[in-house]
Structure 1
Amino acid sequence: MARGNSMVPFGYEEEQPKRRGTLLVFETFEDWTDHELTIVLELARQRQFNKIVLYPQHEDSLRRMSIACAVPYYKRVKNLEKLVEEAGGKGAGESRITIDTWEGKRKKYTPVDTSLRFLTDKYTSPYFVMMNDHYAVLFAGYKGFEDWIREVRLLVWKRFGVPLPSKLLSYSDRMDFMEENGEEAGGN
């Protein structure tokens, strides 16, 4: 088998990719408008993420997580698709945004660690997981949290003013915080 060696000029350095990593957004997406999507797109532009994955969760998953959601899964997905389409029309880079509907195909409860395993197998690393403060508190209480916080970087969006537990804050070197308006914030 031929190796395919190629000649390069002396001092050549391979150009590093300008964009890197995948932003995985865990949310209900129940009350999302173009404002919330714009905040996520701006964060992705600032941090130069390669891919944005919006991951709506099924009603059964939300119910088991004690997260209230009155809008059915398929309506939340349709709303997201419409928002992404409108954002693409404004030149926001629609091709980088993906709505992953794997949980809709399963149609049952899917634990967060199973979802993360699926998403990290499917998309390129490094991984950044964006959750609102309510999701982050629940995530910190799960059994596999310590394993996952070593694999991903957590972006906690302080949308609801939920106080963060000490277990979550003990990993503050593996997470960043955003205020409700989308601006980067310091610690808790």
Structure 2
Amino acid sequence: MTDIATERLKLRRFKADDAAALGAMLADPETMKFFPYVAETPAEGRRLALKHITYFERHWQERGYGVWAVTEAGGRLVGRCGIRNWESIDDIEVLYLIERSRWGRGYATEVARAALEFGFNQVGLERIAAVTHQDNSASQRVLGKLGLRFVRELEIEGLPALWFSVERKDFVAE
């Protein structure tokens, strides 16, 4: 199991017990406004979270890398972040989602940087991509801080999106 500690946060594998907290994020319309799905109720959010957690664990088992739960020092789940193979873009993607009450603290940049470092230095990846909604300027700023560059426009599940990418040789860790 590969846990990562950043300056303020911990990235660890998901547990079934995380479903309620992750489900609450997935059911928050503001948090999910740039995603192609949002759970309609907390119960639906929990069911969706359990599906995600199962997928994340299978990805770890099959690939040796995947998506972590993001927790604060006290253990409170505040997001998810990681790298995964994404068939929709036929590439390896860095992804992140931070609970709305924690926005504006630099958490997304902090954990995405850790995921990129892991992907390049531990997994040995040569390139990592990211996709964000074309109107998600906050996510685009995160990607820019991390050295990802715009590649092209695309559509993901009916939503207008932007594809970014960074190669190992161009990635600069802090």
Q: TM-score, normalised by structure 2?
A: 0.38
Q: Taking structure 1 as the reference length, what is the TM-score of the superposition?
A: 0.36
Larger radius of gyration: 1
Which is helix-richer, 1 or 2? 1
Which has the larger share of strand? Answer: 2
The structure whose RCO (Cα within 8 Å, separation 6+) is larger is 1
